[in-house]
Structures are given as C-alpha cells and as structure tokens.
Structure 1
Amino acid sequence: MKATFGIKERLKSKKEIELLFSEGKSIAKYPIRLIYREATTEKNFTIQTAVSVSKRNFKKAPDRNRIKRLLRESYRKNKYLVSKNTTHHFTFMFLYTGNKMPDSIIVESKIKEILQKFISKEIEKQ
C-alpha cells in the first residue's frame, strides 16, 4: 500500500460530513478527536478522511493550516494500521481540540494511539 493521501481519499461531501457528525462515534486522545462512521456507499478507498481545526482556538489561518498539515501527514504515515486490519468502508474526521500549537511528534503519537484504539474497537465488534 502506498503511503499517500490522494484526492480520492479526502472527505469532501457535505452530506457525508453531516451524517458523520450526527451518527458518528468518537475516540479522543487529547488534543485530537476522531469521529468515525461506517460508510453506506462503496468507494474506491476503504477510508475517506477530513481534518479540522477550530477557529475559536486559532484565530490566524496560517496556524490552523499548519496544524491541519501536521494532522494529514501523521494520518498519511499511519493509515496502514487501519487499512490492513479492516475490510469495511469508513469516513473519518480528525479534530484538533487543543489550544496550543502542537509538535509533530506529539501529533503523530496521538494519531497512532487513536488509530490503534479504533482498530481494537473494530476487532471487538466483528
């Protein structure tokens, strides 16, 4: 599996995002929260992902963009954890809930913890 995060893997559908927030489940490891939902339609990729940072906590767009880049990069490096352990299609939304600029090492470790927790929940469910 390639360690890329292509356009087809990105979650852009407003309808899917609304469903994600209304029906999705959540896993949190401060300062990151993962909201996930099993997708109803078959997609090219098993997981479609979006990232978000609150404007309330980070007023300046360059700060929000930097955090989103860190989240996407950490997910890109560790998405193999989920891809090799599930056959279902999911939609993910990573939210940064902290109010301080994160370090890339912290973000990557938290994303890895969240994905491992997600995998263990999915294995229990099956």
Structure 2
Amino acid sequence: MKFTYNKSEKLKSEKQIGELFSNGKSISAYPLRLVYIESSFSDGISIKSGVSVPKRNFKKAVDRIKIKRLMREAYRLNKYELFNNITTQYAFMILYIGKEKTSFSEIDIAIKQLFEKFLKTNK
C-alpha cells in the first residue's frame, strides 16, 4: 500500500459533510476527535476523509494551516491500519479540539489512538 493522500481520498462533498455532522458518530482522543459515518462512494475508495481546525481557537490562519498539515501527514502515515482492517466504506472528519499549538508526535499518537478505538467499535 502506498502512503499517499490523493484528491480522490479527500472528503469534499458538502452534502456528505452535512450528513456526517448530522448523523455521524464520534470518537475522541485528545486533542483530536473523529466523526464518521458509513457511506458509499462510486469511485471505490474505502475511506474519504477531511481535517478541520476551528477558527475560534486559532485566530491566525498560519496556525490553523500548520495544524491541518500535521494532521494530514499523521493520517497519511497511519491510514494503512484502517484500510487493512475494514470492509465497508466510511466518511471521516478529523477535528482538532485542543486550544493550544501542538507537535507532530502528539498528533501522531492521537491519530493512532483514534484508529484503534474506531476499529474496536466497528468490528
């Protein structure tokens, strides 16, 4: 499996994002929260995901963009755990719920914990 995060793997549909937040389930591993819903995609991708950092906690766009970049990188490096262990298609949104800046190692650990919790609840 390639460690890539292609355009086809990104969650971009407003309709799907709206459905995700209205009907989705969530799991938390501080400073991250994963909101997910079982979905179906016509292009055969098993997981489509997005990341979000609230403007309320980080006023400067530079800070939000840096945290998003770290979250996408941690997702890219650890997504093989999900792809190898699921059979249905899901839509994911990973939210940063912390109030202070963080390092890549903290986000990486939190992503791994989120994925472990997700796999436990959906087996």
TM-score, length of structure 1 as denominator length? 0.95
Distance, in Å, in 1 between the alignment partners of 2:15 and 2:50 is 13
Matched, 1:33 2:33: yes
Unaligned stretches of 5+ in structure 2?
none
Runs of 4+ aligned structure 1 residues displaced above 6 Å come to none
Counterpart of 1:79? 79
The CA RMSD measured in Å over matched residues stands at: 0.8
Q: How does 1:1-126 map to 2 (within 5 A)?
A: 1-123=1-123
Distance, in Å, in 1 between the alignment partners of 2:44 and 2:86 is 15
Aligned-residue sequence identity (percent) comes to 46
Question: Larger deviation: 38-47 or 64-73?
Answer: 38-47
Q: Cα deviation per residue 1:13-69 (whole Å; 9 max; x = unaligned)?
A: 000000000010000011100000001344321000000000000000010000000
Q: Match of 2:53, as an amino acid?
A: V
Distance, in Å, in 2 between the alignment partners of 1:51 and 1:83 is 18
Distance, in Å, in 2 between the alignment partners of 1:90 and 1:43 is 13
Distance, in Å, in 2 between the alignment partners of 1:41 and 1:101 is 34
Distance, in Å, in 1 between the alignment partners of 2:24 and 2:54 is 19
Unaligned stretches of 5+ in structure 1?
none
Q: How many residues align?
A: 123
Distance, in Å, in 1 between the alignment partners of 2:74 and 2:53 is 15
Q: Match of 1:63, as an amino acid?
A: D
Distance, in Å, in 1 between the alignment partners of 2:66 and 2:44 is 28
